[in-house]
Structure 1
Amino acid sequence: MPTPCTAAAAVAVAGTAAALARWRGARLLHPAGRSFAAEVMIWGTPGPPTGVDLLDLPGRHRATVRLSKGVPTPGRWPDVLGLAVRLHLPEGRAFDLLASSSGAAPVLRNLPLPRRGFTGTYSTIMSYRAGARRLWLAALADPDSPDLGRGLAELTGATRADAPRLVLAVASAVGPWRPVGQLTLGDQLDARTDAALAFDPVGNLPPGLRAVGPLTWLREHSYRGSRRGRGASVQSGGSTGVAV
């Protein structure tokens, strides 16, 4: 059970996020982005299994993806870029994954890092527990995929010209990334759909995986406030929605 201080802090964080989102008239974080229909192909975990069936067992899933700029900075200026993915699972369930532009090395996978191009490493920053294991998830650049470009206009052009791909991967705190699947971008969703999308990266997780650490608490309450401030609600796993 939360302590009175923790509960008060949660109310304060959510209230502040709601007020800022209401003032902005948009998402508190990553307000500028593009959303796409997508497909996720899970190959299975190479080496020791994680204990999470969704990652360990081969499968194909319909998905929705949103790529975004954090602040956002103008045009092609550097920014902390965001990748949001929703896997639409059976029986109306969902797996919502948030990742930010970061470095691939262990010392950098915990840090959001600004960059210009949408092609690169995106790490969850937030860690997860799978049994006794602590895991990070990532989307890595596919060397055989078309470049995603710099800026949202170039991103849109890249997805119209081809079907760009990212490699999904898992790692421990200090281990190398282990590829587990592939994310393929499809048709872009319209602006109205993009603006209405919302999801829950703490509550929408597959069996065997749970979010941990102080960032989890902060995300849970700030995102809840942001959704309330812009009049959005977390969509069901059967919806087409994913956003921040």
Structure 2
Amino acid sequence: MQFSDVTALPVKLGSAIRGRKLFHPVGVLAEGVLERTAPGSEGLPMRSCDVIGRVSKGVGLPGSTPDVAGLAFRIPPPQDLRSCGPWDVLLASTIAHSRFVLAPVTSWSGATFSSLMPLRYQGRVWWLRARLTTDLGTGGLGLDTIENQINSGEVQFDIEQATARGDFSPLAQLTLRNVDPSCDDIAFDPALHRDCDVELVPRWLADFRRAAYRRSREGRDATEE
């Protein structure tokens, strides 16, 4: 058994006790559209397509209580590269101007979502972040606010990218439009589900995340899909 598997065992236990994910246990799952806004040759290979997205709270605290805000979306593989599988992008709220220090936020509008880990693509290291651009008309961090907004219209996020020490620039726009009432989650896993040419770095941390997500699925008897 690898070291990463051993250190991820508490995640399995926590998921089993909770009967859900240990982190980001509740959320709003919705169908949406990703539209690339950056030139095709600049940065990460994120393309325009239909996606599945999820907005969540990290600890799952009730109502509008401050929490770590989460945003995830799944990009299906291109038609000619079905062997690659989907690409899961997961982001969470961080302290101001940080790319990797998690922090709770008091409202969706005030959150900056970060990939927390950089991604390597074609020999370069990239970071991702997102910001909500839709005016929700209210504060707080209630999931019902997100769900109501999607049901009455849509929720949009600007997705940005940056090199290791560079400034962020526009990459894509994510729009969530149709809430899935039958489910509030799928097994998002950024280490297992990735673009064929993109990988999380550093590798040791990616290995731990891969083990943690697998232990989480084992703890709640979930599949990889």
| TM-score, scaled relative to structure 2 | 0.87
| Residue number among 102, 105, 119 corresponding to 2:94 in the alignment | 102
The equivalent of 2:54 in structure 1 is 66
| TM-fit CA distance, 1:156 | 1.3
The equivalent of 1:24 in structure 2 is 18
Mark the CA change 1:209 to 1:68 in structure 2 (over 3 Å): closer, same or farther: same
How do 1:174-185 and structure 2 match up within 5 A?
Answer: 174-185=165-176
1:13 equivalent in alignment to 2:7: yes
Residue identity opposite 1:9 in structure 2: F
1:36 equivalent in alignment to 2:26: no
**Quick one: distance in 1 between partners of 2:100 and 2:7?**
22
| TM-fit CA distance, 1:45 | 4.2
1:215 equivalent in alignment to 2:205: yes
**Quick one: distance in 2 between partners of 1:182 and 1:219?**
26
Mark the CA change 1:45 to 1:137 in structure 2 (over 3 Å): closer, same or farther: farther
The equivalent of 1:239 in structure 2 is none
Give SS of 2:87's match: strand
Mark the CA change 1:41 to 1:224 in structure 2 (over 3 Å): closer, same or farther: same
Mark the CA change 1:141 to 1:103 in structure 2 (over 3 Å): closer, same or farther: farther
Count, aligned residues: 217
The equivalent of 2:164 in structure 1 is 173
How do 1:92-241 and structure 2 match up within 5 A?
Answer: 92=82, 93-103=85-95, 105=97, 108-119=98-109, 120-142=111-133, 145-147=134-136, 150-190=141-181, 192-195=182-185, 197-213=186-202, 214-235=204-225
**Quick one: distance in 2 between partners of 1:156 and 1:121?**
19
Structure 1 outlier segments of 4+, above 3 Å:
none
2:108–2:132 contact (8 Å) kept in structure 1:
no
| TM-fit CA distance, 1:153 | 1.4
1:45–1:178 contact (8 Å) kept in structure 2:
no
**Quick one: distance in 2 between partners of 1:62 and 1:220?**
25
Residue identity opposite 2:215 in structure 1: G
Stretches of structure 2 that go unaligned for 5 or more consecutive residues are: none
Give CA deviations for 1:122-152 in whole Å, capped at 9, x if unaligned: 110111112331111111232xx33285311
Give SS of 1:114's match: coil
The equivalent of 1:81 in structure 2 is 69
Identity across matched positions, percent: 29
1:227–1:233 contact (8 Å) kept in structure 2:
yes
